[in-house]
Structure 1
Amino acid sequence: MNASSDQSHFSNLRAQAEILDGEDGLRHLRDEFQVPTKADIKRTTLEQPQQQKQQDRNDPAPADETIACTYLCGNSLGLQPKRTATRINQYLQTWSTQAVQGHFKPLDDSPLPTWLDADARAAKSMASIVGADESEVAVMQTLTANLHLLMSAFYRPDPKGKHKIILESKAFPSDHFAVLSQIRHHGLSPSTSMVTIESPYSEDALITTYDIQSIISKHASDTALILLPGVQYYTGQLLDIPTITAYAHKHNIFIIWDLAHAVGNVPLHLHDWDVDAAAWCTYKYLNGGPGCIGGMFINSRNSLVTTTIADEEPERGYGKRLSGWWGNDKATRFQMETKFHPVKGAAGFQLSNPSILDITSLSASLEVFELAGGVSPLREKSKRLTAFLEQCLSLLSEDAKQLFRIITPSDPDQRGAQLSLLLADNILDPVMKELETSGVIIDERKPNVVRVAPAPLYNSFEDCVAFAEAFELALVATQKDL
């Protein structure tokens, strides 16, 4: 069978997708998002030229103007919630009418908190998504900055004792850069103080819990810190966070989790799992917008404040953290004293006052998570979506299936909302071009991997079929050119 001679499998899949979408209790959430049309993603201007608009008033709308693109790239950048523009406009109105009073003055007809309290409100919403006490979460800075802040507080190497940092060999480049710079910052060499994990058995960059535990055991006596991803960005593999955390603690090693691809994607129970610390971004599955403000979790036992505001030397009671304006206790923050009185919990790790524009954008999306009932029901839909996507790919023509294979674990409990597809050599660019022409948006990781991420907040089972059909056509077209 080839794509040109028999595509009955797509008719059957579309019928199945229609049933599954009809049974989906979360399908209404798609209406909460701005889904670009096929015409939108082809456009080279913010809006249609005026001449084209006039023509469209006289002619029936072109199909591409009304048909949504197939967007399966939420693992890179989530779509914009419709309420984001409303909330940002309310923020702008507050700024324009209240100016500096917006820091302290609540408005009766605005759902937004005062700017002084915006970070605390966002942290409360975020705490339920990551499974933490409100005091253990701070909305602040960006992902890599937060990783550096955590390592500056908790990586205190002893060259004659514990000094190594363990991370995966295929860590996201910015995590790798952060570890390298932290090691060098302490006058150490990565050749002796950095240990990378890779499986001797997997050709697809997958690492098992056993692989990780083996490396921990081997280097336990001189390892000071571990940095691992909750979901590995390249393969989409979900690591066993509670088991690995417990194993690190058994060997008296502090562990930090990079949750960039896990937060809003899979259920997290950071407090119950006794995680030491974690950091994440908010522009992927959390839909906060490109480069939006990040988040941080610090276990309550690692952020204790043992002083009171009346103490003469409050700095003695807040440990190793860096200090800044916004980490100072609100009761004394505007008294302009030079003694630092840290806020209890993760909020005491904050430095500068946060971007209220960012927090407003993020909070708009967190409202949608509340409408969904949290991450758990989204995870159940996500498992069904990703499994259906896998089924769609398994039914492609034999010609197409020869040109790719899935490198994400097949076990639904070992993956998030992502399938990574390893393509045959030298076909990545033409396949991506064909997909874009078909109105399909996914992302690539050179030299030969594409990542397909059906996000349960706004993706449908129909999207999975649309991708599979466009992907098969792209692969077969590429094969003809070889």
Structure 2
Amino acid sequence: MKPLIFPVQMDLVRPEEDAIYMCSNSLGLKPEKVDEYMNELLDMWANWGVLFQFEGRFAGRDIDLPPRGAMERMVGGLPYEVALMNGLTVNLHCALIHFYRPSRERFKILIESQAFPSDMYAVKSHLSMHGIKDEEGLVLLRPRANEQTLRKEDILDLIERNGDEIALILLPGVQYYTGQYFDIPTITRAGHEKGCIVGWDLAHSVGNVELHLHEWDVDFAVWCTYKYMCGGQGAIGGFFLHEKHWGRDAPRLDGWWGTRDDVRFRMEAQIHPAPGADSFRISNPPAWIVVTVLAALEVRFRSDQHEGNDEEAVLVDWVLGTPSEVHQRGTQGKTQGDKVKKKKKGYGFQRVSLPHTAQQRHVIPLRSGDARCVLSRSRDPITLVTPSDPRERGCMISVAMDGCGAEEVHEELLKRGVVTDMRVPEVIRVAPFPLYNTFEDVWNFVQMLRDVILLFSS
């Protein structure tokens, strides 16, 4: 067995088997083609030197273009509405500079109170640059008392009541902590009816849920590509600009890569803005963080996208199913898991070669009915944070460890070769991802989670 970087406990694993990797919400697995593409880049650099900028399929001058068509399909954008550039928060700053134009009457920004910290930092920095105090410029969306997710009617009501003062709305497509999938078209339409610009952070949405940004009339969106897009840590970010805003008379940070491709190397002092979202590009993107995304997109579009969405729902339902439902599935679980495993063999992603146990035991899964689940012999409940309605979630499930520490549960799962992640103060996040997770993965995960919970509650 190869060396491991986290504390797998050898008497709890089978060394010959892969890990159960359910952490695509944090970092997707590596596409198999990445090694080939990286080596090709290194060879071109070594053998061609500066000519590498203009030669080969990964020529530097056009390196951000090969993945763009597939990315447009992923988010539902028209040609030139999508650009690959920078990182997510840098792209958010670019959008805010352009779209946040406060006036005396309309100067507030609507954002959820528990937004991802980087989004909150960015928003507050723009308020500060305009001399607006946080307490004056922020309209914060908060869940109701004793609830962890936001109700759509509360979001719409807040927009209706405060919309005349709101310059810009920034929300996540899928919330990073709870896994809640927001109704993007309805919220966007409500914001527009009140005269607000509406932008979306799609870090946990792209590659996870279906998106139609152009059709939904979204003003702008930003995302990363290392989660469900499997582009690797620090991979290039994504940016969407609706065509109705092309040529908008507003500030924009210009740079060499934002000028038209056909005149870029004339080195003229006057910029000739590239069409659409491309005009927001600033610097030439590093090839190394683009080809990884290309490799992942190629795998995804070799698959049947519709089938993938259906399978995602089934995989998550297996985790959230009632005991009677899973008991009925129990006799066919191994067979169905093997079927999916065969289907995905050589599917384009490298499974993590970490051991895990695969013993078949009776499953007592998380129940979704009233969002609470008491596992057998456990006195302490755990809480399902993520909405149980499949229309309000993607493939990530957040579980609050009310009766035992999330950090301790996370460490015990790692000892068993199960890779999830935890977020303070008490949540374990699990993402059964249909591009490489199987029914057998889900089957084994639920049993191991049960074992760990019982370990702490016995």
Q: 1:61-97 deviations in whole A, cap 9, x for unaligned?
A: x974421011110000001111111111111111111
8 Å CA contact 1:206–1:235 kept in 2: the answer is yes
Q: Equivalent residues in 2 for 1:314-393 (5 A)?
A: 319-374=250-305, 376-391=306-321, 392-393=365-366
Equivalent residue, structure 1, for 2:354: none
Secondary structure at the counterpart of residue 290 of structure 2? helix
Counterpart pick for 1:153 among 73, 95, 98: 98
Q: Equivalent residues in 2 for 1:17-32 (5 A)?
A: none
Give me the whole-angstrom Cα distance separating, in 1, the residues matched to 2:451 and 2:5. 20
Q: Kindly tell me: are residues 321 and 373 of structure 1, through their superposed partners in 2, closer, same or farther at Cα, counting changes over 3 Å?
A: farther
TM-score, length-normalised on structure 1? 0.81
TM-score, length-normalised on structure 2? 0.85
Secondary structure at the counterpart of residue 138 of structure 1? strand
Q: Equivalent residues in 2 for 1:196-215 (5 A)?
A: 196-200=140-144, 203-215=146-158
Give me the whole-angstrom Cα distance separating, in 1, the residues matched to 2:82 and 2:2. 39
Once the two structures are TM-superposed, the CA of residue 173 in structure 1 deviates from its matched residue by: 0.7
Q: Does 1:105 pair with 2:55?
A: yes
AA partner of residue 105 (structure 2): G
AA partner of residue 67 (structure 2): A
Q: Equivalent residues in 2 for 1:77-476 (5 A)?
A: 77-106=27-56, 112-158=57-103, 160-200=104-144, 203-304=146-247, 319-374=250-305, 376-391=306-321, 392-394=365-367, 397-400=375-378, 402-476=380-454
Give me the whole-angstrom Cα distance separating, in 1, the residues matched to 2:94 and 2:317. 38
Q: Kindly tell me: are residues 92 and 117 of structure 1, through their superposed partners in 2, closer, same or farther at Cα, counting changes over 3 Å?
A: same
Q: 1:134-183 deviations in whole A, cap 9, x for unaligned?
A: 2100000001111111000100111x111000001110111111111110
8 Å CA contact 2:13–2:416 kept in 1: the answer is no
Give me the whole-angstrom Cα distance separating, in 2, the residues matched to 1:263 and 1:198. 24
Give me the whole-angstrom Cα distance separating, in 2, the residues matched to 1:93 and 1:470. 45
Q: 1:111-153 deviations in whole A, cap 9, x for unaligned?
A: x342212212222121010011121000000011111110001
Give me the whole-angstrom Cα distance separating, in 1, the residues matched to 2:427 and 2:438. 23
Q: 1:302-321 deviations in whole A, cap 9, x for unaligned?
A: 1237xxxxxxxxxxxx6422
Give me the whole-angstrom Cα distance separating, in 2, the residues matched to 1:400 and 1:365. 41
Give me the whole-angstrom Cα distance separating, in 2, the residues matched to 1:168 and 1:38. 44
Pick the structure with more helix per residue. 1
Q: How many residues matched?
A: 407
Give the aligned CA root-mean-square deviation in angstroms.
1.9
Which one is further off, 468-477 or 115-124? 115-124
Give me the whole-angstrom Cα distance separating, in 2, the residues matched to 1:345 and 1:397. 53
8 Å CA contact 1:38–1:64 kept in 2: the answer is no
Give me the whole-angstrom Cα distance separating, in 1, the residues matched to 2:393 and 2:110. 22
Equivalent residue, structure 2, for 1:28: none
Q: Kindly tell me: are residues 155 and 288 of structure 1, through their superposed partners in 2, closer, same or farther at Cα, counting changes over 3 Å?
A: same
Equivalent residue, structure 2, for 1:54: none
Give me the whole-angstrom Cα distance separating, in 1, the residues matched to 2:147 and 2:13. 40
Which one is further off, 139-148 or 463-472? 463-472
Which one is further off, 455-464 or 192-201? 192-201
Equivalent residue, structure 2, for 1:68: 18
AA partner of residue 164 (structure 1): K
Once the two structures are TM-superposed, the CA of residue 322 in structure 1 deviates from its matched residue by: 1.4
Once the two structures are TM-superposed, the CA of residue 38 in structure 1 deviates from its matched residue by: 9.0
Give me the whole-angstrom Cα distance separating, in 1, the residues matched to 2:418 and 2:386. 21
AA partner of residue 281 (structure 2): Q
Once the two structures are TM-superposed, the CA of residue 404 in structure 1 deviates from its matched residue by: 0.6
8 Å CA contact 2:72–2:78 kept in 1: the answer is yes
AA partner of residue 292 (structure 1): A
AA partner of residue 444 (structure 1): M
Give me the whole-angstrom Cα distance separating, in 1, the residues matched to 2:6 and 2:444. 18
Secondary structure at the counterpart of residue 420 of structure 1? strand
8 Å CA contact 2:217–2:242 kept in 1: the answer is yes
Q: 1:166-217 deviations in whole A, cap 9, x for unaligned?
A: 001110111111111110011111110111001325x332112211111111
Q: Kindly tell me: are residues 400 and 187 of structure 1, through their superposed partners in 2, closer, same or farther at Cα, counting changes over 3 Å?
A: same
Equivalent residue, structure 2, for 1:21: none
Give me the whole-angstrom Cα distance separating, in 2, the residues matched to 1:401 and 1:195. 40
AA partner of residue 152 (structure 1): I
Secondary structure at the counterpart of residue 428 of structure 2? strand
* Greater radius of gyration (CA): 1
* Structure 2: tracts of 5 or more residues without a match: 322-364, 368-372
8 Å CA contact 2:41–2:58 kept in 1: the answer is no
Q: Kindly tell me: are residues 67 and 197 of structure 1, through their superposed partners in 2, closer, same or farther at Cα, counting changes over 3 Å?
A: same
Q: Kindly tell me: are residues 378 and 333 of structure 1, through their superposed partners in 2, closer, same or farther at Cα, counting changes over 3 Å?
A: same
AA partner of residue 223 (structure 2): W
Give me the whole-angstrom Cα distance separating, in 1, the residues matched to 2:310 and 2:59. 36
Give me the whole-angstrom Cα distance separating, in 2, the residues matched to 1:39 and 1:479. 32
Secondary structure at the counterpart of residue 331 of structure 1? coil
Q: Kindly tell me: are residues 63 and 431 of structure 1, through their superposed partners in 2, closer, same or farther at Cα, counting changes over 3 Å?
A: closer
8 Å CA contact 1:138–1:347 kept in 2: the answer is yes
Which one is further off, 85-94 or 149-158? 85-94
8 Å CA contact 1:130–1:263 kept in 2: the answer is yes
AA partner of residue 419 (structure 1): I
Percent identity (aligned): 38
Secondary structure at the counterpart of residue 348 of structure 1? helix
Once the two structures are TM-superposed, the CA of residue 40 in structure 1 deviates from its matched residue by: 3.8
Give me the whole-angstrom Cα distance separating, in 2, the residues matched to 1:431 and 1:38. 24
